[in-house]
Amino acid sequence: MEKQWKIFKSPGPGAVSELQQQLGVDRIVASLLHQRGLNTFETSKLFFRPELSQLHDPFLMKGMRIAIDRINNAISKNEKVMIYGDYDVDGTTAVSLVYSFFKEHIAQIDHYIPDRYKEGYGISFTGIDYAATNGFSLIIALDCGIKAVDKIEYANKKNIDFIICDHHLPGDKIPEAIAVLDPKQSDCDYPYKELSGAGIGFKLIEAFSIANNLLLQTCYNYLDLVAASIAADIVPITDENRVLAHYGLALINTSPRPGIKALLDLNQQKQAATITSLVFGLGPRINAAGRIEHARKAVELLICDNDEEAAELAAAINDTNTQRKDLDLGTTQEAYAILDNDLLVAEKNTTVLFNEKWHKGVIGIVASRLIEKYYRPTIILTESDGKATGSARSVKEYDVYSAIEKCSDLLEQFGGHKFAAGLTLKKENVEAFKIKFEDIVTSTITKDQLIPKIEIDLVIDLHEITEKLVRILKQFAPHGPENMMPLFCARNVFDTGWGRIIGTNHLKLELFQKSNPNIRFQAIAYDKGDYINFFQRKTPMDIVFKIQENDYKGVYSVQLLIEDMKINTLG
């Protein structure tokens, strides 16, 4: 599928020049900083040198003081406390963090993760019943609960108090818990709204430490778990998240906890961990526990303090991830077959597929795969407890959550984010939902939103790529939403004649521009071997690329990672 190139609109040479002078950097670095809203010396300094002192006061979050008072009261009365969380990476890292911290302060404490298949997402009646039967009087819920109005009402009747720590969008009514910590509440003055679920959990233990005059360094020892949650939940790497991710990655790369180390070892991680390597290496393995078996195994791994035990637990989770991959591949191929045989597929603006036999644990992954191929809002449904339940994923600029909300009359429940959501409905409503969802999306999405785009930071010439630039670009990390790895465009590039296809269909090139023919760079373009003929015929090409360091047997060199390319038609 051809992608539309969108080049970031320059703030103007005057603004860039002023920042260049302030910082003593070239126009590329100044432009990149300005694009990120970093247009002063001070904001740029904090960007390049994140400090823990930049973290916001946790007591600015609505409900925090009440939450800490309730926890201290539970400690003084020796109450039983349950740490409850969702079954994905964000939920399991949040539970691991809060449980590990509070087990040093709360004598009677346990953790609980709902069964994806028996209980579903979020707080469940089953979980509350378990707490009541076993004498828990306080539940700290992480990465869930903001819409659990009926569940909290049920818990209140059983004399079980809840502290909700969530980061999802609230509904019209806030649950009547003892305290609700969610910066997305309209009346919450907390200055940063984009924390992950584990990030909210971190603010809870930070506030507890401040209130009880404990060393904050103890809290910082859990930032590896926060970094993993930030990566997996794909939250913006800005403001407080940038600080938490920076120090969390540093912890992972110097002294990771046994569970994380065991997972990285399985991934044969040789280079320093990054947000990207956590997304694709760590996240799927942690997620696999909850997708295929039970997510408590992920918590057991993450709270483990013994290397040998961690290695055994990680190996078991890795086996589960292998099963997940097989299910993922099989389901994706079945979904492709359905769409390939649909004569009306090209006329639709959505994809909604329902198969009672598909595994609930992989439908979100399959939805994402279908978007890569068909690029439109997608929902994959399967059967669970006699109902259709599924995962929704969206294209980059479209709010699929809002579209699903407009179909709420056909739904039993739903929740999620702008670009990803979960939903449950009666099986007999599936066809009506497909029609209504298609109608709503068609009336609200634009043609432009249905075209995949590559957002380019800057057009540069190859001779502008210097060792100094590469060193500074490395300091833009950690990368993620709203601070992606810079993407450049170079016009009219040619191959020296050295280019060839490697592997299955990858293109290995040595590129130059005629304006500076002696400046040459090695480049790799994955799955783009079909373009070899253009380079062999000396066709001028435009490329979109990232600048990276290539490590080959300890020898470092600059390499261009090509994301897309087109024939230059301007000459």
Res 407: pLDDT? 97
Cα–Cα distance between 404 and 457 in angstroms, integer? 33
Mean pLDDT within 477-484: 93
How far is the CA of 16 from the CAs of 34, 464, 483, 496, in angstroms?
Answer: 7, 16, 18, 34
Mean pLDDT within 363-389: 94
Residue-wise pLDDT tens digits, 518-539:
999 999 999 999 999 999 999 9
Q: Do residues 248 and 108 touch, judged by C-beta distance below 8 A?
A: no
Residue 427 is classified by DSSP as G
CATH (residue range 58-316): 3.90.1640.30
Q: CATH top-level class for 342-450?
A: alpha beta
Cα–Cα distance between 1 and 94 in angstroms, integer? 38
Mean pLDDT within 278-298: 85
Mean pLDDT within 408-419: 88
Looking at per-residue pLDDT, the higher value among 134 and 397 belongs to 134
Instruction: With a cut of 70, say whether residue 292 has pLDDT above it.
Output: no
Res 550: pLDDT? 81
pLDDT band at 266 (very low <50, low <70, confident <90, very high): confident
Res 531: pLDDT? 94
Mean of pLDDT over the chain: 94
Residue-wise pLDDT tens digits, 557-566:
899 999 999 9
Res 69: pLDDT? 98
Residue-wise pLDDT tens digits, 436-474:
999 999 999 999 999 999 999 999 999 999 999 999 999
Q: Can you tell me whether residue 378 is helix, strand or coil?
A: strand
Taking each continuous run of H as one helix and of E as one strand, the counts in the chain are 21, 19
Determine which of 281-285, 355-359, 414-418, 471-475 has the lowest per-residue pLDDT on average. 414-418
Mean pLDDT within 259-286: 88
Res 571: pLDDT? 58
Residue-wise pLDDT tens digits, 85-141:
998 899 999 999 999 999 999 999 999 999 887 887 789 999 999 999 999 999 999
Instruction: With a cut of 70, say whether residue 396 has pLDDT above it.
Output: yes
Cα–Cα distance between 183 and 195 in angstroms, integer? 8
Residue-wise pLDDT tens digits, 485-523:
999 999 999 999 999 999 999 999 999 999 999 999 999
Residue-wise pLDDT tens digits, 156-199:
999 999 999 999 989 899 999 999 999 999 999 999 999 999 99
Instruction: With a cut of 90, say whether residue 541 has pLDDT above it.
Output: yes
Radius of gyration of the chain measured on its C-alpha atoms: 25
User: What would be the CATH architecture of the domain defined by 454-567?
Assistant: Beta Barrel (2.40)
421-430: string of b/e by CB count within 10 Å (b at 16+)? bbbbbeeebb
Res 332: pLDDT? 95
pLDDT band at 66 (very low <50, low <70, confident <90, very high): very high
pLDDT band at 269 (very low <50, low <70, confident <90, very high): low
**Sign of torsion, CA 241 247 248 252?**
positive
Instruction: With a cut of 80, say whether residue 291 has pLDDT above it.
Output: no
Cα–Cα distance between 13 and 31 in angstroms, integer? 9
Contact residues for 471 (Cβ-Cβ < 8 A; gap 6+): none
How far is the CA of 494 from the CAs of 210, 402, 499, 509, in angstroms?
Answer: 59, 46, 10, 9
Mean pLDDT within 342-347: 86
Supply 36's token pair.
């990120």
Cα–Cα distance between 360 and 281 in angstroms, integer? 21
- Its pTM stands at 0.90
Instruction: With a cut of 90, say whether residue 385 has pLDDT above it.
Output: no
| Share above pLDDT 90 across residues of the chain, in percent, rounded to a whole number | 80
Res 209: pLDDT? 98
Strand partners, 525: 507
Burial of 475 per CB tally in 10 Å (0-12, 13-18, 19+): exposed
Mean pLDDT within 312-341: 92
**Sign of torsion, CA 248 252 255 256?**
positive
